[in-house]
Every structure is written in C-alpha cells, then in structure tokens.
C-alpha cells in the first residue's frame, strides 16, 4: 500500500520540507514588514541584524559544499541590487576577493593529495575543490558582512555592542574613535593637500616617507593636544570616571524575535543538510 | 593583510578569540587603572587610537612594487600608548575595519592576535631593546619592521593551521613566501615612516611617547620571558624545518628523557586525546601559571 519511495531514508525529505515551510513563513513575514517600512534596509532591528550576520557567517564556515555559500552569495548580490547599493557592494568586495583568489591559487597549485592534471601548469584537483569551497565561503561571508555594513550605521553598531554587554571601557573608546576617525581623516587629507601644494610628497622614496611621516606625526601631536581640550570640555559637562555607559537598553520585542528564531532554525537546517550530503 | 570571514575553521575562530580575549582583558584592566589615576587618559588614548586607525588605512608608497599599501600601524601605536592599550585599540580598529570589508567579524580574534598582539608586543620589545643602544628613529623603525614582518608571518601561520592542518610547516612557508612580494617592501616602508614619525614627535612633543612604566617588575619579567622563550621555540622549529627536520615535536623526547615511567593512559593523556594537544597543553599552562602566580608572593616570603 505504501509507495516504495516513501519507505526509504527520510532525511532529505524532512530537511527540504522543514526548510521550505520555514522559508515560506519568513518570506510572508518579511513581505508584511516591507509594506509598512519605507527604508527597506532597516526591516530588521540592528541588534538582530548583527547577531544574524554573525550566525550566518559561522554557518557558512561550517559548510562543506561550495554550492550553499554560492547560493547565499547570489541572494546577497540580489539584495544589494534591490537595496540600490550595488556599486558600494562591488567596491567592498575587491579586498576579500583578492584574499580568496590567493588562497585558491595556493591550494590549486600545491595541494598534496589529488590527481595531478597533465599540462604546462600542474593543478591538483582536490586543491581546486577545496580552494573553491574556501572561495565560495569568503564570497558569501563578505557579502553578508557588506550587506550588514550598508544597512547599519556606526551608532547603531555601538548601540548593539552595549546590548551585547561589551565592557564599558571598550564602548567609550569606540564612541570617541568613531567620532574622531572622520575628523582626523579629513585633517590628514588637508595636510596632504597642503604638502602637495608645497611640492611635498614627491621625489625619492625616502623623501616621500619623510613627508608622510610628518603628516602622521602632526596628526598624533594634534590628537594629543585635542584630547586635552576634550577632557576639559568633558569636565565642564560634569563627567567623572565613575560615569560609565549603561547596558540597559529596551528589550527586543517578540515581533523582532520571530525572524531570529525562524532564521536560526532555517540556518541550522541548511547546515545540517550541507553536512549530511 | 587581514583574514576575511569564511577562511578559518570554527575551532580556530574560537581558539584565536580565546587567546585574544585574555590580552584584551589585561589591556582593559590596565586602561581602567590608568583612567583612575589620570582621567584625561580616556580621551587621549581614544583620539590616538583614531589617528592610528586613520594611519593604518592610509595608502603609503611601497618600494620595488611601485604600488601603495596599508601599514600595520600597531608597532607605532605600541611605542606611543604601550602594547596592552594597543591590543584594545587595535581590536576596536579591526572591528571598524571589518565594516569597510577589511578583515571580518568571525576573524576578529585571529586578526587581533596577528596585528594587535604579535605586531604590538614584538615591535615594542624590539623598541625597548634597541632604544638605549641606538638612535630613537632607528629603534622605532626596527620595531615597525619586525612588527610588520611578524604580523604577516603570524597571518600565514593562522592560514596554514586552519586550511592545511596536515602540512602546517610547508604551507606556513608557502603563505609566507606568497606574502613576501608585497609585505617585505611594505615593512621597509613602515620602517622608514615609523622612524621619521617617532623622530618628529620626539622633537615636537616628546611627552606623547609612552614612558613604559605600565607594569611592575614581576609582570615585565614574566612577559619578557614569555616572548623570549616563544621566540626561541619558534625560531628553533623553523630552523629545524628548513634543515629537513621531521617536525615530530619534542613531546616524545620529553617523555623518554624526563618521565620514562609515566602512565600512558593518565587523565592528562586522555584529555589531550579527547580535546587535541594544543588545548591540553593550554590547560596545563593555565593551571600551572595560575597556581604559581597565586602562591608566588607567599613562596618568596618563605
């Protein structure tokens, strides 16, 4: 009475059914939220976005087949296109891809086991396979990270760190650093322009290095002087070393918890499927 | 060259996070202590951290290759604010750098170890060793050169350990060689600009440079010995490998020479078989260090 195919190993059937229906619920949920929120990059709460990105990257590193990370990369490319940040996405991808190509080349040319292909350049098939897996993992992880970057501001990130109970000292230093990185970067560029207009940063290598070092030295001494002014300003506003960042933030609501539970279950399913093939 | 997400295997992600967390915790402790003594230290260290971040993403011209690249920056930071504070600053900087797709979130521990710990501590050690016997610019330059080279050797080792655990030494050499065309000229550039920058700062605002009185004598001696012994072991292993050694490790020799009648299935051996030798050795080191450190003062008094 029971069809023969139904009596066999149920693993793949179960996995695909669970993955499909979880994705179905997530898809409907995301669509409902999209209707109400104008800024499409912000449909998920920043704290959840950070945790999800971290979990996704961990899940990618656990995968043993290149096609799962490759599928994730395609989804990220599509998301970047839909969020209208495709140009920035491409710009940020350059560095991770260089690293991925370097590893692919090392593994492809030098892996110890695997058949050696005939030809002028000897390639190792296992090495290429493993290199491709690493390449796909880097591509997918970097894509996830870049989508996170492009949809989360620095202040939201620091807020998320507060919620994750990161030590107050790190939070205070991070806040100062994020506030002054742009200032010093701008100041450094001004110094560079000033030097160029006075025939600096040209000539021999040593001369260029000397000019660059003067800019860096100036920036450091200026940072030192400015920190004294900031300290005086902090004192005038009633700051004391005992005043630390509060970790009390509004708790995550149940409506925000639903996608995290669903996505984590989906991720676990995919990792399980990947490792059982 | 920061390691991107997706490269390291999960166990290595955890391992490098655990090692870096110890140094970060120590760094936070030292920073908090200094903030208590001098509250203006907080904005000072943060602003200098911001500048170091700007410097580390600034393109500097690289000789031979004719291109430009980012310097490590941590040896320079260690000279200015001390190595432990540099670990904390570089962790934050690497976190921000991950958000311009340099490095990653899961590799933050590994990148902190190579850049913030190895680069800063070895750079600082070289600076302190050379400071009294050579000109300031030369000691700072050498600190940057050694710090930069060791950072990339550590990155190569991290890649080899995670990607090719069966042939770590071979792939360490291979990755190191792969980095040489860009990183060796970059280290030369880092030598030059760090030397000039420290010379400039010492001439214009000498008080900016860290005086190095962060630790008591015990801590300084312990850390000095740690780096010295680690350097001897690493150099010995590398030289042994270069001269064709089988890299079978010293545990066999130690077992045969020091403890020939040791029980082969004792709890330590079982733990190591279960969790892997590095974790077993780390547990032994942590236990031994904690017990010795805890009772050190009372033993000294006796």
> Could you read off the pLDDT of B100-145 as tens digits, one per residue?
777 888 899 999 999 999 999 999 989 988 888 888 889 999 999 9
B60: enclosing H helix or E strand: strand B60-61
Contacts (Cβ under 8 Å, ≥6 apart) of A27: none
Q: Does A169 touch chain B (CB under 8 A)?
A: yes
Nearest to B182 by CA among B51, B71, B53: B71
pLDDT of residue A30: 67
List the 161-190 stretch of B: residues with Cβ below 8 A of A. Answer: 163, 166-167, 171, 174-175, 178, 189
pLDDT in tens, chain A (277 residues): 666 666 666 666 666 677 677 777 777 766 666 666 555 445 567 778 888 888 888 888 888 888 888 888 898 898 888 888 888 888 888 888 888 888 888 887 776 655 555 556 666 677 788 888 888 998 998 898 888 888 877 777 777 777 777 888 888 888 888 888 888 888 888 888 888 888 777 777 778 777 888 888 888 888 888 888 888 888 888 777 666 666 556 666 666 677 677 777 777 888 777 777 6
Q: Does B31 touch chain A (CB under 8 A)?
A: yes
How far away is chain B from the Cα of A277, in angstroms, using its nearest Cα? 19
Q: Is the CB of residue B43 less than 8 Å away from at least one CB of chain A?
A: yes
A193 and chain B: CB distance < 8 Å anywhere?
Answer: no
Higher pLDDT, A238 or B272: A238
Q: Pick from B76, B163, B166: which is nearest to A134 by CB?
A: B163
Enumerate the β-bridge partners of residue A116.
A124
> Given this model, what pLDDT does residue B20 score?
92
The whole-angstrom separation of Cα A129 and Cα A104 is 9
Give the whole-angstrom CA distance, residue B73 versus residue A100: 24
Nearest to A176 among B31, B43, B194 (CB): B43
Quote the pTM value.
0.74
Closest approach of A208 to chain B, Cα-based (Å): 8
Contacts of residue A262, defined as CB under 8 A and 6 or more positions apart, other chains included, come to: A22, A25, A26, A29
- CA closest to A239 among chain B residues: B39
| Residue from B21, B43, B195, B201 whose CB has the most chain A CBs within 10 Å, to mutate | B43
Cα gap B197→A210, rounded to integer Å: 8
| In chain A, residues 30-69 whose CB comes closer than 8 Å to chain B | 53-54, 57-58, 60-62, 69
How do residues B172-221 score in pLDDT, each as one tens digit? 888 888 877 778 888 888 888 888 888 888 888 777 676 555 566 777 77
The minimum CA-CA distance between A266 and chain B, rounded to whole Å, is 19
Which pLDDT score is estimated for B56?
77
* Cβ neighbours of A67 (radius 10 Å): 13
Judge whether B13 is closer than 8 Å to chain A, CB to CB. yes
Is pLDDT above 90 for B88?
Answer: yes
A interface test, pick of B11, B52, B54 with most A CB neighbours within 10 Å: B54
Contact: A184, B50; criterion CB under 8 Å: yes
What is the spatial distance between Cα B249 and Cα B272, in angstroms, rounded to a whole number?
Answer: 15
Distance from CA of B151 to the nearest CA of A (A): 16
What pLDDT, on a 0 to 100 scale, did the predictor assign at position A5? 63
Per the structure block, which two tokens stand in for B54? 């700007």
Instruction: For domain B10-214, give the fold.
Output: Arp2/3 complex 21 kDa subunit ARPC3 (1.10.1760)
Distance from B210 to chain A by nearest Cα, in Å? 12
Residues on chain A touching B32 (C-beta within 8 angstroms): 169
Maximum separation of any 2 CA atoms in chain A, in Å: 91
Average per-residue pLDDT for chain B: 80
Q: Residue A84 phi/psi, 5° resolution?
A: 60, 40
**Inter-chain contact A213–B163, Cβ cutoff 8 Å?**
no
Q: Tell me, what's the pLDDT at A189? A: 84
Nearest to A174 among B92, B174, B205 (CB): B92
Question: What is the predicted pLDDT for the residue at B143?
Answer: 93
* Interchain contact B259–A (C-beta under 8 A): no
Could you report the per-residue pLDDT of B137-171, keeping only the tens digit for each? 899 999 999 999 999 889 888 988 888 887 888 88
Restricting to B residues 73-92, those with a Cβ less than 8 Å away from any Cβ of A are 76, 80, 88-89, 91-92
CA distance A22 to A24: 5
Min Cα–Cα distance to chain B from A2, Å: 43
CB of A271 closer than 8 Å to CB of A13: no
> Residue B274: pLDDT above 80?
no
| B43 closest CB neighbour out of A53, A218, A231 | A231
Tell me whether strands B68-69 and B60-61 are parallel, antiparallel or unpaired.
antiparallel
Residues of B within 8 A of A218 (CB-CB) are: 200
Least Cα distance to B227 among B76, B124, B87 occurs for B124
In the prediction, which pLDDT does A262 show? 75
Asked if B157 is an interface residue toward chain A (Cβ–Cβ < 8 A), one would say no
pLDDT of residue B17: 92
Conformation bin of residue B249: beta by default, left when phi > 0, alpha when psi is -120 to 50:
left
Which pLDDT does position B268 carry in this prediction? 64
What is the spatial distance between Cα A239 and Cα B166, in angstroms, rounded to a whole number? 55
| Model ipTM over 0.95 | no
Alpha helices in A37-151 (DSSP H): 46-62, 67-82, 86-110, 125-151
Tell me which of B273 and B94 has the higher pLDDT. Answer: B94
Domain ranges of chain B: 10-214, 250-301
Rounded to the nearest angstrom, the gap between the alpha carbon of residue B288 and the centroid of all alpha carbons in its chain is: 22
| Separation CA B55–CA B240 (nearest Å) | 38
Q: Any CB–CB contact under 8 A between A168 and chain B?
A: no
The answer to whether B206 contacts chain A (CB < 8 Å) is: no
Residues in chain B: 302
- Go through B108-135 and write b for each residue having 16 or more CB atoms within 10 A of its CB, e for each that does not: bbbbbbbbbbbbbbbbbbbbbebbeeee
What percentage of chain B carries pLDDT values higher than 70?
79
Query: In the predicted model, is pLDDT for residue B87 greater than 90?
Result: yes
């Amino acid at each position: 009475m029971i069809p023969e195919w139904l009596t066999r190993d149920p693993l793949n059937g179960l996995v695909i059914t669970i993955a499909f229906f979880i994705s179905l619920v997530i898809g409907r949920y995301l669509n409902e939220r999209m209707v109400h929120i104008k800024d499409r990059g912000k449909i998920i709460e920043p704290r959840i976005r950070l945790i999800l990105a971290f979990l996704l990257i961990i899940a990618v590193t656990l995968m043993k087949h290149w096609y799962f990370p490759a599928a994730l990369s395609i989804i990220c490319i599509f998301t970047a296109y839909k969020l209208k940040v495709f140009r920035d996405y491409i710009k940020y991808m350059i560095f991770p891809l260089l690293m991925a190509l370097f590893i692919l080349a090392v593994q492809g040319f030098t892996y110890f086991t695997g058949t050696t292909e005939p030809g002028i350049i000897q390639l190792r098939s296992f090495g290429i396979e493993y290199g491709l897996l690493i390449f796909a993992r880097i591509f997918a992880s970097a894509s996830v990270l870049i989508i996170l970057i492009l949809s989360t501001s620095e202040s939201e990130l620091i807020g998320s760190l507060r919620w994750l109970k990161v030590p107050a000292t790190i939070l205070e230093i991070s806040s100062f650093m994020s506030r002054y990185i742009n200032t010093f970067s701008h100041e450094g560029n001004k110094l560079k322009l000033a030097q160029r207009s006075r025939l600096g940063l040209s000539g021999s290598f040593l001369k260029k290095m000397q000019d660059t070092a003067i800019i860096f030295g100036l920036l450091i001494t200026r940072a030192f002087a400015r920190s004294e002014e900031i300290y005086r300003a902090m004192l005038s506003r009633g700051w004391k070393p005992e005043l630390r960042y509060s970790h009390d933030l509004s708790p995550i609501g149940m409506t925000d918890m639903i996608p995290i539970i669903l996505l984590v279950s989906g991720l676990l399913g995919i990792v399980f499927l990947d490792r059982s093939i | 060259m920061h390691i991107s997400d997706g490269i390291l295997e999960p166990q290595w992600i955890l391992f490098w996070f655990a090692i870096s967390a110890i140094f970060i915790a120590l760094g936070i402790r030292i920073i908090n202590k200094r903030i208590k003594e001098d509250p203006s230290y907080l904005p000072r260290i943060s602003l200098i951290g911001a500048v170091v971040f700007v410097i580390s993403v600034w393109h500097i011209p690289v000789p031979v290759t004719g291109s430009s690249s980012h310097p490590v920056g941590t040896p320079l930071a260690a000279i200015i604010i001390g190595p432990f504070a540099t670990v904390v600053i570089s962790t934050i900087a690497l976190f921000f750098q991950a958000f311009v797709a340099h490095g990653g979130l899961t590799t933050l521990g590994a990148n902190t170890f190579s850049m913030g710990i190895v680069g800063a501590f070895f750079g600082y050690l070289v600076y302190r060793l050379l400071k009294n016997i050579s000109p300031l610019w030369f000691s700072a330059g050498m600190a940057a050169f050694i710090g930069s080279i060791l950072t990339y050797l550590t990155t190569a080792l991290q890649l080899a350990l995670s990607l090719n655990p069966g042939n770590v030494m071979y792939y360490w050499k291979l990755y190191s060689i792969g980095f040489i065309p860009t990183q060796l000229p970059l280290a030369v550039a880092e030598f030059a600009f760090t030397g000039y920058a420290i010379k400039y700062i010492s001439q214009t605002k000498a008080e900016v440079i860290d005086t190095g009185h962060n630790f008591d004598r015990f801590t300084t001696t312990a850390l000095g010995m740690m780096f010295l012994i680690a350097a001897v072991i690493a150099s010995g292993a590398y030289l042994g490998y270069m001269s064709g050694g089988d890299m079978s490790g010293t545990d066999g020799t130690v077992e045969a020479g020091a403890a020939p009648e040791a029980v082969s299935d004792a709890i330590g051996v079982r733990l190591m078989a279960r969790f892997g030798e590095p974790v077993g050795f780390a547990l032994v080191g942590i236990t031994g260090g904690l017990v010795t450190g805890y009772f050190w003062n009372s033993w000294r008094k006796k």
